[in-house]
Structure 1
Amino acid sequence: MFGRLRAWKRRHSLLVDTLALTPLMLLGLLSALVASAVPEVYGRFSTVVLLLLSAMLVLPLIWRRKYPVATFAIVALVCFVQWLVEISTLPVNVAVLVGMYGVAARRPLKWAIAAAVVTEIGIFLWLLRTTDDVLDQWPGPTVFVVAVWVTGIYVNMRQRYVESLLERAERAERERDQQARIAAAAERTRIARELHDVVAHNVSVMVVQADGAGYAIDSDPEQARRAVQAVSSTGRQALAEMRRLVGVLRDDHTSSEEYAPQPGLEQLADLIEQVRASGLPVDFTMSGPRHEVPEGEQLVIYRIIQEALTNTLKHGGPGVRASVQVEYGAHDVTLTVSDDGRGASAARADDGHGLIGMRERVGMYGGTVQAAPRPGGGFRVTARLPIGQMA
């Protein structure tokens, strides 16, 4: 309810300011009527003149929020003209304090000081005409003026503070949304990289197996049958991994398979056997003192080996052999995947996403990766990965 009321006040601010001045308008009307009945003070001024003076003092205050300096200047000028024509002060002259408060509450300090000085000059001129002891009488109204002025300054500071809080909240919200977009983009990149590795490797294996089945279907049906079974098994594995990766984008929990563990060092033997089954001989060795490797870095090692062997399957040529070496160091793991295939002469059909993915994965953990043809033929991928050290 209060929120709707504030919104209504913002939409009808002029009406609200006018209604707020109603008591002052009534005071001006009554003071003009009463003053006209005091001939010894206002004798030579008619009720119409006093009503016009009261209106000129009150009506500009309707725009005190939007134009506080101009409003105060008009009210102060009317008061000065009132002093010049020797019209005694009216209760409605309090309008000059309202105008001064508006300047102090809505404009910088220099304008507030200027408004206070003008008000004090007005008080001095009024006392100069109404009393012989100006200095003794001046402190009383000055204290009242200072109180109104300080209140306006406080409201101004409070408003600036609230505005700064709102600005900070809006900036924090924008930064939060930006961080969310960055995180979403990073997650999409990670999923795209994972999908590339899964699809590239498994489809390459399936293509090799399918080609083998095609060649052996007439001469060796049993071998062709095993090749087709390998294609089926590899396809199911690829689908399972793809469902797991795509599952992180979904809100519902339709399958526990979506949350299967990421592949790591324990699955390297299965990966090697799968590649061997596709017809690529692979020598696999692990050396050095074994120590615990974080799951994220295990996934990096697995994907680099998977990508390197996939490239060997695709580009190594006939009769190629591969070697995978994983060496544990005191604070790092070094892995080398090499083959004796075509090397630099191989036509690289892909667009380089695999090697880019390797560098991105290793770079996340402060490691290095080198991929280049071997002297004398073949290709080698070497990666060094610090253990437990984020970049």
Structure 2
Amino acid sequence: MFGRVHEWSKGHVKLMDALRVAPFVGLVVLTAWPYAANPAAGPPGMRIGLAGYLALSAALLAPLLWQRRWPVAAFAGVALVCFGQWLLEIDLVPADLAVLMALWSVARTRAFPWALAAGLIAELGVFLVIVRWGQVTFSMFFSGSIFVVTVWLTGLYASTRRRYLEGLEERAERAERERDQQARMAAAAERTRIARELHDVVAHNVSVIVVQADGAGFAIDRDPEQARQAVRAISRTGREALAEMRRLVGVLREGEADATDYTPQPGLAQLEELVRGAGVPARLRVSGAACELPEGQQLVVYRIVQEALTNALKHGGPGVRALVELVYGGPDLVVRVTDDGRGAAAPRSPDGHGLIGMRERVAMYGGAVSAEPRPGGGFEVLARLPVPVTRAA
């Protein structure tokens, strides 16, 4: 609530300045009746009449309308009016409290030298008033200074707290910017890694095409059927290579990759080996009728399982066990990795970007992934990858 009020006040500066002056205006109006009733009665300071009283009050309060934008100028204006009032031997009026309000604004919004100068000027004003009364004693000066020092110290405290809150906001904004920057850097690094891996997939497919083409060339005269099979393999592999190439073009790549190794990247065939060597007791369970997937998509499944098992090993705690499930059937392949570790109680790694990498990989194939603690304990990574229509059929 206070935050909304603060934001609203920033957009209505003039109205807030007027509201600050309003209590002083009300005090002036409430204390104007002696001047209107009998201007000649009372102490000498009250013989200025109602018109003089209102004019003096307006001159004292008018600078407060600019105290937020120009606090030093507002304080100087009020101080000059007070000094003129002292020279004319006019006693204090309720509007003289404006000097305390202006002093508070300077102490709150300006550096300490300005606040100290304003405080000394206000103390000088107290001394001049006491001299005007003809009672220059330490007790009188101390009594008059109490109000000035209290307001001055209150303004300094408000200034310190304001700077502290601004520092907190600045640090929070800087931390948010750094977090976003780290996330973007992690995403860019993951795209680079994906691009290199897809490069290997495409290179492997092209190598298969070359081998099949050579085989078809040798068998076209002696075994036409084998040549036809080789041509069909070339056609299928070429389409897969084109699909992977389109994804490769859409991925940012940094630097030069030393892509001299044309060994194919891991896929579904290596999942069993991955689960056995995960470092935690884990099982692999496959449901539904398995279908052949493109190598790039198999690599995505492999990396998701690898990252999920790594997280279980790092954050699951002692004795954690994991279950890897592949569910075929329907338009999506469901990859679910669950563990019975600490779940929500596990410490979060500040530099971990595994989920970002999984999202980048799955997003290339139009899928979705989530990673969150399970209600009964443990952690779950769930990914859905669309299965190509021809493969699903």
Both proteins in one fold, TM over 0.5: yes
The residue that corresponds to 2:210 in the other structure is 207
CA gap of 1:39–1:244, structure 2 versus 1, over 3 A, is: closer
TM-superposed CA distance for 1:230, in Å, is: 5.0
Q: For residue 9 of structure 1, what is the aligned residue in structure 2?
A: 9
Which AA in structure 1 matches 2:34? V
Structure 1 residue runs without a partner (length 5+):
249-261, 268-291, 295-391
2:90 to 83, 87, 90: 87
Where do 5+ consecutive residues of structure 2 fail to align? 252-264, 271-276, 280-393
Residues paired across the two proteins, number: 257
- Per the alignment, residue 357 of structure 1 pairs with none
Provide, for residues 53-76 of structure 1, a one-character-per-residue CA deviation record: whole Å limited to 9, x for no partner. Answer: 100111111111111000000000
SS at match of 1:138: helix
- Contact 1:18–1:62, Cα closer than 8 Å, also in 2: yes
Contact 2:123-2:145 at 8 Å conserved across structures: yes
| Cα separation, 1, equivalents of 2:133 and 2:69 | 35
Q: How does 1:1-391 map to 2 (within 5 A)?
A: 4-35=4-35, 36=39, 38-42=41-45, 44-225=47-228, 227-228=230-231, 231=234, 263=266
- CA offset digits 1:323-343 (Å, max 9, x no partner): xxxxxxxxxxxxxxxxxxxxx
Q: CA RMSD in A?
A: 3.3
Q: 1:3 to 1:86 in 2, by over 3 A?
A: same
Q: Which residue of 1 aligns with 2:372?
A: none
Instruction: Tell me the CA shift for residue 243 of structure 1.
Output: 11
Which residue does the alignment assign to 2:354? none
Q: Deviations over 1:3-46 (max 9, x none)?
A: 55443322212112212321201222344442436344236523
Partner of 1:343: none
Residues 91 and 33 of structure 1: CA distance in aligned 2, closer, same or farther (over 3 Å): same
Distance 1:106 1:38, change over 3 A: farther
**For residues 147-203 of structure 1, what are the alpha-carbon distances to aligned partners after superposition, in whole Å with 9 as ceiling and x for unaligned?**
111110010011111111111111111111111211111121111111111001211
Letter in structure 1 aligned against 2:157? Y
> In the TM superposition, what is the alpha-carbon distance from 1:86 to its structure 2 partner?
0.3
CA contact (8 A) 1:31 1:90 kept: no
The separation in 2 between residues aligned to 1:235 and 1:104, in whole angstroms, is 76
C-alpha distance in 2 between matches for 1:194 and 1:172: 33
Compared CA separation, residues 13 and 37, structure 1 to 2 (3 A): farther
Q: Secondary structure at the match of 2:179?
A: helix
SS of match in other structure, 1:21 = helix
Summarize deviations over 1:208-229 as a string: whole Å, max 9, x none: 3124313431233254245346
CA contact (8 A) 2:46 2:91 kept: no
CA contact (8 A) 2:41 2:47 kept: no
Alpha-carbon contact 1:198-1:242 (below 8 Å) kept: no
CA distance in 1: counterparts of 2:230 and 2:43, whole angstroms:
122
Three-state SS of the structure 2 residue aligned to 1:217 is helix
Task: Work out the percentage of aligned pairs sharing the same amino acid.
Answer: 57
- What is the SS of the residue equivalent to 1:22? helix
Q: Distance in 2 between matches of 1:207 and 1:22?
A: 88
Q: Which has the larger radius of gyration?
A: 1
SS of equivalent residue, structure 1 residue 38 = coil
Deviates more, 1:4-13 or 1:116-125: 4-13
Cα distance in 1, alignment partners of residues 155 and 115 from structure 2: 9
The TM-score with structure 1 as length reference comes to 0.58
How far did 1:234 drift? 5.2
Instruction: Note closer, same or farther for the CA distance 1:240–1:8 as it changes in structure 2 (3 Å cut).
Output: closer
Q: How far apart, CA to CA, are the structure 2 residues paired with 1:156 and 1:215?
A: 88
Amino acid in the other structure paired with 2:184: R
Tell me if structure 1 keeps the 8 A contact 2:78–2:102: yes
Question: 2:198–2:248: 8 Å Cα contact kept in structure 1?
Answer: yes
Residues 123-156 of structure 1 show CA distances to partners (whole Å, capped at 9, x for unaligned) of: 0000011132332211112122111111100100
TM-score (norm 2): 0.58
Alpha-carbon distance between aligned partners in 2 of 1:152 and 1:69, rounded to the nearest angstrom: 13
Counterparts in 2 of 1:173 and 1:131: CA distance versus 1, 3 Å: same
* 1:239-270, Cα deviation, whole Å (9 max, x unpaired): 99899999x9xxxxxxxxxxxxx618x86xxx
Residues 52 and 240 of structure 1: CA distance in aligned 2, closer, same or farther (over 3 Å): closer
Q: Cα–Cα, structure 1 residues 2 and 88, in superposed 2: closer, same or farther, change >3 Å?
A: closer
In 1: Cα distance, 2:193 partner to 2:199 partner = 10
